[in-house]
Amino acid sequence: MEKATPFTSFVALGDSFTEGMSDQGPDGSYRGWADLVAARLAGRAPGFRYANLAVRGKLIGQIAAEQVPVAAAMNADLVSLVGGINDVLRPKCDVGLVCARLEEAAETLAPTTRQLVLFRSTDPTRRMRGSARLLPRVERLHALLDDLARRHDAVVVDLFGVRVFDDPRLWAEDRLHLNTEGHRRVAEATLRALGYPPSFDWTAPLPPAGSASWADQRRADLRWARVYLGPWIGRRLTGRSSGDGRAAKRADLEPWTSGPASV
C-alpha cells in the first residue's frame, strides 16, 4: 500500500552513488536513482521540494561534517543517507571509526525528518576479483545499518543479496558505478521500500546475452586498468579525490522543476 501522506520534500546525502554517476543524460549531467525517486514523489505532492547534497568521492567523515548539518537544517520529510563504502574500499580503513561517523550522522538526521532511508550496498565479491577481503568490513557496516534502522525506525533498502546486480550490464565501464539501468532499479527498490506500488520487478534478471571471447575480455580488462584503475590508485596515493572542489548538484531544497522521470 502507498503511504497515506505523500512526502513533500526529499534530501539525499552521500557520494557518487547518490550523486548519480554514471547515469548520464544528453547534456552530460548525471541523473541517478535519487533524481528518479524525486520525480516520482513530485507527481504525488504539489510543490514538492528536493535537494541532492551528494558529491562523488566523499568519505563518511566528510559527509557527516559537510552534508549532515545542512540536511538537518532543511527538516525535509524524507532523508536518504549513504556513506562508508568509499572508506571500506581503501586499503587502510578504521572500520570502527567509519561506523561511529555513520552512527553520528544517523542520530543527527533522524529527529529532523519524518523518514530516514539507509542502504545496504550491493555485494562486490561476486562481481569484482580480489574484493572478498572487503566482505568483513561491509558486513560490519551493514550490521550497524540494521541496528540504526531499528533504533530510528528507518527504512533500509537492501541491495546486498540481489543477484541481478552481479550482471555487468547494470554497471558503467569503470565497473564501480551503476549505469542508467542500474540506477533505475535502485530507484524502484527505494520506492518499494517506502511503500509505493510496484512499477516493475527490479530484481528480475536481464535477458541472456552472448558471452565475449577470452581475447575481448582481456582487452576490456586492460583498457579498464589503464583508463580507470590507474587513475583511481593515483588519487589514493596522492590523497586526492574525484570530488575535490566539486559542489553539490542541488545544494538547496527547492521545488522540483525537471520533467517526469520514468522509473
Whether 14 contacts 63, CB under 8 Å = yes
Task: Name the pLDDT band for 225 (thresholds 50, 70, 90).
Answer: low
The CA radius of gyration of the chain, in Å to the nearest whole number, is: 18
Evaluated on CA atoms 154, 35, 162, 233, the torsion sign reads negative
Q: Which candidate, 4, 48, 10, places its Cα nearest to that of 187?
A: 10
Task: Name the pLDDT band for 259 (thresholds 50, 70, 90).
Answer: very low
Whether 76 contacts 117, CB under 8 Å = no
pLDDT of residue 257: 85
3-state secondary structure of 230: helix
Whether 141 contacts 102, CB under 8 Å = yes
Question: Would the pLDDT of 62 be above 80?
Answer: yes
Bridging pattern class, strands 49-52 and 78-81: unpaired
Percentage of the chain lying above the pLDDT 70 cut: 83
For the residues 226-244, what does the mean pLDDT come to?
62
Question: Would the pLDDT of 187 be above 70?
Answer: yes
Task: Name the pLDDT band for 20 (thresholds 50, 70, 90).
Answer: very high
Whether 148 contacts 154, CB under 8 Å = yes
3-state helix, strand, coil in the chain (%, to 5): 45, 15, 45
Compute how many other C-beta atoms are within 10 angstroms of the C-beta atom of residue 90. 13
Domains and CATH numbers, the chain: 9-203 (3.40.50.1110)
The number of CA neighbours under 13 Å toward the Cβ of 229 is 10
Main-chain phi, psi angles of 112, to 5 degrees: -100, 0
For the residues 209-228, what does the mean pLDDT come to?
66
Helix or strand (DSSP H, E) at 132: none
> What pTM, to 2 d.p., does this model score?
0.89
Main-chain phi, psi angles of 79, to 5 degrees: -135, 130
**How confident is the model over 129-173, as pLDDT tens digits?**
667 788 899 999 999 999 999 999 999 999 999 999 999 999 998
Helix or strand (DSSP H, E) at 78: strand 78-81
Q: Compute the CA torsion angle 57, 223, 90, 171 (nearest 10 deg).
A: 60
Structure-block grid coordinates of residue 135: 566482505
Whether 93 contacts 87, CB under 8 Å = yes
Question: Would the pLDDT of 55 be above 90?
Answer: yes
**How confident is the model over 35-50, as pLDDT tens digits?**
999 999 999 999 999 9
**How confident is the model over 67-116, as pLDDT tens digits?**
999 999 999 999 999 999 999 988 889 999 999 999 999 999 999 999 99
For the residues 234-239, what does the mean pLDDT come to?
61
pLDDT of residue 175: 72
